[in-house]
Structure 1
């Protein structure tokens, strides 16, 4: 892919927090420094996890930090037909199968044992659709821009769910279809998603999609070592252009090892971003799995 197209793809399960800001900022700077597009995708395929108004809050937070996206916002909840078409292609190729098994049934196994690969065990029960990880590309190898050579056998990770028993789409299929249809050339995201990449690479090959470049960023963790997340009640980002917001942006640049001018923490958002886009260099990133938030 010669034209850079990046994206930020949050799940609207709540407002963004500092870890989200670091991920969004890293993907934004990488795209803008390359002169590329930066798209926004709202991954709202799980309505029970997405309270009303959360997506709009995320949009306001990004705008407050000067992270303006290109084109219309892309909502996964509107993409059912595209995901169904991709699933049907996988079924026709023998790479997806229905599965009635529950997590409780295979709780004594590290990964799903593939019991339904050759026929549904309990046809009268609700069924999910799983990927035949043993038949696709194996092993999966790619060069992460920060963590270097990566190699996984997806069959050792198990047959991931593509469509849930409740008929909701699962993350792996949706993200692959959307990245391909949006022409995403570079995926910049948190390290917690690195071990999802093997399944996504399998799906890209199976569906004839190009493989984007990957840059996985170190995870931001709290003082207790827990990943900053909505589940762990990480504080929400502000959505107004105040002094706290400007200092948060400066902290996020420090978390990305970009060594901003210490005096720039009080500078307006637009000024900080302009300088950060100019100076962005992912080679400064330390290849460590976790980055402690020292605020």
Structure 2
């Protein structure tokens, strides 16, 4: 039996995962902004579901909530950093307040959740961290630049942290789901105020996708959650887990284009070294 800490269990992947784990006999510590959203789960599973109110934009509340979850469960085997939402629209269209809230929730909140768990996992000598990202964590999608910024940011953070903490027996997996039939697209997503000039921009396609309630997403969220749970049991687990045919196509295309671009600059890159340079001494060498 594993103990799990999952942020954002009121809906979407977090809710589905909590339901599946509790049904399987696991224990779950869940955070959400409104406790009543999971009254049914609490009534059904009692002490196996520990709950705390948490808004990731309240940075000061994150560490106390994490510490309380560890105290309540005794140990946590898997952290699932899931809470987040999408801010859609061109970068210029978003208000300053929307930009700050998106960064505070998806990026800074996710960073602080992971940081708050690390001392505990390091002390117990084990743990897995699953960070929910997106296909947008590897591919630039016009009309979601601020959302994509948070996902590229958290992926860089987690990939680096994974190298820092492997020595302590802690592993990380970045989950990259594509579109899924959750409430993300037509529920939690926020659309920035429109600027008419952007009607001619490819960014507007995202607006149409969000606004068209008849369009069905590609991914099955239950199958995706099954894959997430399964990957938490793998040792070693994958650094990244791409879920959905749309994710596979988008990320494959993006990485291929980026690799071709950098390969074309090889000679230029090498030509800018100092004459007596030793490439093995570069600060970003792995």
TM-score normalised per structure 1: 0.33
TM-score normalised per structure 2: 0.34
Greater helix percent: which structure?
A: 2
